[in-house]
Amino acid sequence: MLFCAHHGRKFEPELKKIAVEIQDETDRLTDAPARTVGDEH
């Protein structure tokens, strides 16, 4: 299942009871994208 960060935090206590794994990728929202060749400004 996928949840936005807000709902992931809201439901986290209940999800932790039944989930095999919880993967939080919230930090990917603020990471700077990787630069590629020719991507110079």
* Residue of 1 and 22 predicted with greater confidence: 22
Q: Which residues fall within 8 angstroms of residue 16, CB to CB, at 6 or more apart? A: 22
pLDDT at 41 over 60: no
Residue 19 backbone dihedrals phi, psi, to 5 degrees: -80, 145
pLDDT at 2 over 80: yes
* Residue of 24 and 41 predicted with greater confidence: 24
Distance CA 4, CA 37 (A): 32
pTM: 0.51
Q: Count CB atoms within 10 A of the CB of residue 38.
A: 5
Distance CA 37, CA 26 (A): 27
Q: Assess contact for 15 and 22: CB atoms under 8 A.
A: yes
In tens, the pLDDT along 12-36 reads: 999 999 999 999 888 887 776 667 6
